[in-house]
Structures are given as structure tokens and as C-alpha cells.
Amino acid sequence: MSATRRIALSIAAFVLAAGVIAPTASAHDRRGPSVTRLATFGSGGFVTGSTIGPDGAVYVTDGDAGSVKRINRRNGHVTTYATGLPRKALPDAIGGPVDIAFVGRTAYVLVTLVSGKAFGQPFGNSADKNGIYRLNRNGSFTLVADIGQWSVDNPPVPAFFIDTGVQYAMEIYHGRFLVTDGHHNRVLSVTRHGSIKQIATFGNQVPTGLEVTKGHVFITQLGPNPHVPATGRVLELRRGADPRVVAAGASMLIDVERGPGGKLFALSQGQWDGVGEGSPALPNTGRLVVVKHNGTLAPVTDGRGRELVLDRPTAMEFVGNTAYVVAINGVVYKVSNL
């Protein structure tokens, strides 16, 4: 087995299968939450991050193309917003641009798994750096924080087999960037001048999505194999205190966002297929779940009380009572009437 293949098989829950089946909504379902397809973009593999831009559009990352796409929320029209970022280096894993955030009208993009060493063997182009890039006015990108090199210089204990880590999500907090590393099991704080420090670390819990809202920081954990619902958790990170478990009970949690009515919503990628380390959820087992006051996670249902079905979602954003959910292969769904 080649080193590249071992890498792809060993990145827990980041080797995700493509192929999304579009949910449909009947007229009856429109009385309650419903799912429709808004847009399709990309080359069909490993789309992970999104945000709502200053113009109100949905912006998503495309690791295969090394680009950022803009999606019109009204008609689903897709345009290329920026390109020229390092592309992913491993064919069967995430990588390249994986998340995006805006500071004012300036875009910053998180890039991962474009170079490094796995099992001691180099992969990718060493000139390509893992970290945060700023989009300049002329359309070029500038590396502002080399997270990959920092990770090499500051390995977790115990060390993991990819020395540069696997950064997954990024949010802005008090003028800094918070970044999850799902391989090194930690959360980093990064300034726009490139200063990096670790602010939270976990056991083998695979931190994934982030949300910053009203001064609070929330994070999802995918959980280790076999990714049972009990290890799919939403945590609140707190200064000077241990993280607080907000809710648990949904398998393979991948993102969390504040939604309508101030409620916290999370994305469950679905039921793990059990094939092996790094294998994805079973098709069409993903769910949008809501955090309940008793610490449980309840699936969102339509007007008939049926659970809304999603196929391996990776990220979501809310505008009013509508969620925009990105799937792994570049399909964007619109979940209305929440």
C-alpha cells in the first residue's frame, strides 16, 4: 500500500465519499422546513467551508480548483470569486482551500494538506504552505500565517502521523482567527500578523466546526471511531475554564451555527459506515439537528414530522430562518422555513 493511500485511509472522517442525492419537497412540506437544491459547483470532491459575505452571497471553498466560489442566494448562480490558491495534494482527502472568512470586505482563506510529511514521507509541493491567506485587491493571495510550519515546530503530544496537521474550520474572534485542527485535536488562535498559539486541546475527539456568537465560542467534535452518537458533541470554549459540553447525541458532528430564535443548530454527517478508519457516513444519513435545553440534539423535521435528510454535509450558514448547507461534492442546499 502506498504512503498516499495510507494517508487517505487514516485521516479519520476526512475521507468522505461524493455523490449527493437531491432531496425534494412537496407542496405540503412547504408549510414547515423543507430542503431544495440551490446550486452545484466544483469538480465533485471535498468541498468543506462556507460563509456569508459582506454582500449577502454564499462563499464556498473548492479544494480541487484552489479557488473560492460565490453563490447568489436568490437564483443559485455560481461565479468564481478568487483563484490561485494551492490545490489539495492528496487525491482521496480534503485539502487546499477548506474555509473562508471576511474581515470587513477582505477575504481570508484557510488552506490545509497541500504539503508536509505523512508517516515521515513528504507529500505535495514544499513551496505550497498550509495556513491562512489574505486576498489582495489585485486578486492575488498573500500567506499571513504559516500554520503548517508552526504545527511542525509545535507538535501535539503524542505526535500524529501528519506533521502539518489537518486544519478544518476558521472563525473570527476579537480580531483574531480561531482554527480547528481535526488531526492534531486542538484549536488555535491566529492573528492577522501570523502569530499563533494553542488555546484548547483534546484527546482523540476530532474538533471540526466553529461558531462565534455573542461572545461565545462553540465547537463540534466528530468523535473517534466508531463515531457513535454519544461522542458527537457540541462544546462551548471558555477562557480560564475547561470546555463545557452543551449537547451530545448525534453522530459525526461537522459544524455548528446560531440560527433562528437564537437556537444552536449542528450538522450531523450521518451514520458511520463501519468500513474502516476514515470511511464516511452511510449515504443519506446526514441530519440538521437543534440543541435542546436538556443537552440533547433533536433532528429538524418537516411539516409532516419527517426528519430532513442530508447527504454528507460539511458546513452551513444561516440568513434569517434559512440555512445554506454545503455538501462534500459541491452541492449547496437551501433549508427553508426554519
Domain ranges of the chain: 18-336
**CB atoms near residue 137 (< 10 Å):** 6
- For residues 108 and 133, what is the distance between their CA atoms, to the nearest angstrom? 5
Residue 272, C-beta contacts closer than 8 angstroms, at least 6 positions apart? 13, 225, 226, 227, 251, 252, 279, 280, 281, 282
Inter-residue contact 269 to 280 (CB < 8 Å): yes
- For residues 38 and 116, what is the distance between their CA atoms, to the nearest angstrom? 36
Using CB atoms within 10 A of its CB, is residue 172 exposed (0-12), middle (13-18) or buried (19+)?
middle
The 3-state DSSP class for residue 249 equals coil
The 3-state DSSP class for residue 148 equals helix
**CB atoms near residue 197 (< 10 Å):** 11
- For residues 277 and 8, what is the distance between their CA atoms, to the nearest angstrom? 10
**CB atoms near residue 136 (< 10 Å):** 12
The predicted-structure confidence for 159-214, as pLDDT tens digits, reads as follows: 889 999 999 999 999 999 999 999 999 999 999 999 999 999 999 899 999 999 98
Amino acid at 279: S
> Which residues on adjacent β-strands are paired with residue 34?
336
Which residue ranges in the chain fall short of pLDDT 50?
Answer: 1-29
- For residues 210 and 172, what is the distance between their CA atoms, to the nearest angstrom? 10
- For residues 239 and 276, what is the distance between their CA atoms, to the nearest angstrom? 36
HSE-CB of 257 using CA atoms within 13 angstroms: 25
pLDDT at residue number 178: 98
Amino acid at 40: T
pLDDT at residue number 86: 97
Q: In what order do the strands lie in the sheet with 186-190?
A: 167-173, 176-181, 186-190, 196-201
Using a pLDDT cut of 70, give the percent of the chain over it: 89
pLDDT at residue number 181: 97
Model pTM score: 0.90
CATH topology of domain 18-336: Neuraminidase (2.120.10)
pLDDT at residue number 183: 93
pLDDT at residue number 227: 83
Inter-residue contact 61 to 71 (CB < 8 Å): no
Inter-residue contact 251 to 257 (CB < 8 Å): no
Report CA dihedral (112, 178, 45, 325) to the nearest 10 degrees.
-170
Helices (H), the chain: 3-10, 147-153
